Amino acid sequence: MSLSKHTDAAFQKCINPDCAAEFDRGQALFKCPECGELLDTQYNWDKIAVPKKLRNFGQRWATRDSPLDFSGVWRFRELLDFCPDEHKVTIGEGQTVLQQNCAVAQHLGMKADRLYLQYEGLNPSGSFKDNGMAAAFSHAMMVGAKSCACASTGNTSASVALYAHSCGLKCTVFVGSGRIAFGKLSQAMDYGAQTIQILGDFDDCMRQVQSVCSRLSLYLLNSLNPFRLEGQKTIMYRILEGLGWQVPDWIVVPGGNLGNSSAFGKAFLELKQLGLIERIPRLAIVNATGADTLTDLVNNKKLVWNEGKVDQAIIDDYYADLTARNFSPRTCASAIEIARPVNLKKCLRSIDVCNGVVRAVTDEEIVDAKAIIGKYGLGCEPASAATIAGLKHLLDEGIVEKDERVACVLTGHPLKDPNLTVGYHKDRQGKFSNPPVEAPNDLEEIIKLIR
Ligand code: F0G
């Protein structure tokens, strides 16, 4: 991606091609100080000893008694080489599985062996965020940060709280009051974060946290942080690894603040440039209909990356209209209840790189898909289930073929949001509800009930 004036192996660069300012990797900036656009982490690859073949990374399984080889993030360290080993942070993130799931595939009418579920709920805090935090906290340690903060729909706050306490950083998390699932809120409190509930939604929290961080010089851990997104690239490396280093036809991911989709496109672009893969998979990003800014902007307003010259007027008009209508997003998938995604432009770049598509699915579709993933798979939280609901749309439309190989990223653990799951089953809210049966305390009566 880079022809740079920077001679260091890694540096930061503004994504706006008219600015393209470069900064040292040792700075904690989070937005371009010159034009306010997003920053990328970039590499001078000729200064990095990247393995010649992806499968060489697999050799690190043999030396997993070393914490950096055990980490599902740092196992791939040459592909995110911005931090010396002595500052690298790991608490065992990225021990995930790529599950081939024939039953869900058949439910969707796909060829049985073509669907894979990348289960990120196995991470230490129960979501994919830990991949990003391992990288971002390493950068925080490298720059000597003492205190940190984030805004969150829940999982970021849980992950930040966990990593902050293991790194000895003070930590404040901002969440929208009543907008986050209880599993996640319980984690933030239990891991010792100061939790500030703002009377507003995620977008309000995101705005406030940026001001707080710049006023009080706190280290920001949202996905505006380009080093965090480097960690999230490894989710894609592990999908390739799970497929014997083959590239799938599609990656399907939920879209909220659009950090994952941004990171995934960058991961594949870099692998292609390095000659480590021959082709780039297509990317499908799935919004909830109650928080569908990306879908609306891409599918209806025709917003495109345009080599970095994104039509800002379309975005400004769109957000002005949201403000005029006093719009606040609403979906049962609270993790992706976001109307002003901060990584929008990087996500447009990923759509360009991966020939991507965007869809929105209803809450009803999300909860039914979640029940199917629970019944036939490892389960997941509501936002993660948007992938299977979105895939169903794409199969029905003939955009994804029944025999294409698809990997859906299940971003979070089912226990993150038990209230929603219990409500769905107990109160018979959906097609796949599986309510408990009341029984008298009597053996014969109980036996009659067993099916
Ligand atoms: N899935 C889950 C479980 C999430 O927690 C999030 C985001 C997403 C999907 C969306 O990912 O932002 O990369 O598009 N959660 C953030 C949070 C916003 O604060 O926990 P994205």
Q: What span, in angstroms and rounded, lies between the C-alpha atoms of 134 and 229?
A: 10
Q: What span, in angstroms and rounded, lies between the C-alpha atoms of 436 and 445?
A: 15
Q: Closest ligand 1 atom to the C-alpha of 383?
A: 1
Q: Closest ligand 1 atom to the C-alpha of 254?
A: 9
Out of 125, 292, 336, mutate this one to test ligand 1's pocket (max ligand atoms within 8 Å of CB): namely: 336
Residue % of the chain over a pLDDT of 90:
98
- Mean pLDDT, range 334-342, rounded to an integer: 98
Q: Which of 91, 111, 90 is nearest to 101 (CA)?
A: 111
CA of 248 to the centre of ligand 1 (A): 23
| Confidence band, pLDDT 50/70/90 cuts, at residue 360 | very high
Task: Tell me the per-residue pLDDT of 293-326, one tens digit each, with 9 for 90 and over.
Answer: 999 999 999 999 999 999 999 999 999 999 999 9
Out of 233, 340, 411, 417, mutate this one to test ligand 1's pocket (max ligand atoms within 8 Å of CB): namely: 411
CA of 8 to the centre of ligand 1 (A): 32
Name which residue sits closest to atom 4 of ligand 1, judged by CA. 335
- Is the alpha carbon torsion for 158, 122, 248, 273 positive or negative? positive
Q: Which of 439, 118, 132 is nearest to 258 (CA)?
A: 132
pLDDT of 1 strictly over 50: no
Q: Is 6 exposed, middle or buried (0-12, 13-18, 19+ CB in 10 A)?
A: middle
CA of 383 to the centre of ligand 1 (A): 8
On whether the CB atoms of residues 204 and 14 are closer than 8 A, the answer is: no
Give the model's pLDDT for residue 4: 64
Q: What span, in angstroms and rounded, lies between the C-alpha atoms of 437 and 439?
A: 6
Identify the DSSP state of 313: H
Q: What span, in angstroms and rounded, lies between the C-alpha atoms of 373 and 219?
A: 36
Q: What span, in angstroms and rounded, lies between the C-alpha atoms of 223 and 118?
A: 20
SS3 287: strand
Q: Closest ligand 1 atom to the C-alpha of 184?
A: 20
Q: What span, in angstroms and rounded, lies between the C-alpha atoms of 230 and 133?
A: 10
CA of 256 to the centre of ligand 1 (A): 5
Where do we find the tokens 């993660």?
A: 384
DSSP element (H, E) containing 20:
none
Give the model's pLDDT for residue 338: 98
Q: What span, in angstroms and rounded, lies between the C-alpha atoms of 100 and 408?
A: 10
CA of 47 to the centre of ligand 1 (A): 33
Residue % of the chain over a pLDDT of 70:
99
User: What six digits make up the tokens of 1?
Assistant: 């991606």
SS3 137: helix
pLDDT of 173 strictly over 50: yes
Please state the pTM of the whole predicted model: 0.98
pLDDT of 431 strictly over 90: yes
N- to C-terminal Cα separation, the chain: 59
Neighbours of 396 (CB within 10 A): 11
User: What six digits make up the tokens of 110?
Assistant: 């796909």
pLDDT of 2 strictly over 60: no
Q: What span, in angstroms and rounded, lies between the C-alpha atoms of 163 and 431?
A: 39
Q: Closest ligand 1 atom to the C-alpha of 256?
A: 14
Name which residue sits closest to atom 12 of ligand 1, judged by CA. 257
Task: Tell me the per-residue pLDDT of 37-92, one tens digit each, with 9 for 90 and over.
Answer: 999 999 999 999 999 999 999 999 999 999 999 999 999 999 999 999 999 999 99
| Confidence band, pLDDT 50/70/90 cuts, at residue 3 | low
What residues does ligand 1 touch, defined as CB less than 6 Å away?
127, 152-156, 223, 254-260, 335-336, 381, 383-384, 411-412
Q: Closest ligand 1 atom to the C-alpha of 155?
A: 20
| Confidence band, pLDDT 50/70/90 cuts, at residue 367 | very high
Q: Which of 448, 179, 447 is nearest to 336 (CA)?
A: 179
Out of 38, 127, 344, mutate this one to test ligand 1's pocket (max ligand atoms within 8 Å of CB): namely: 127
Task: Show the domains of the chain with their CATH numbers.
Answer: 1-48 (no CATH), 97-124+229-426 (3.40.50.1100)
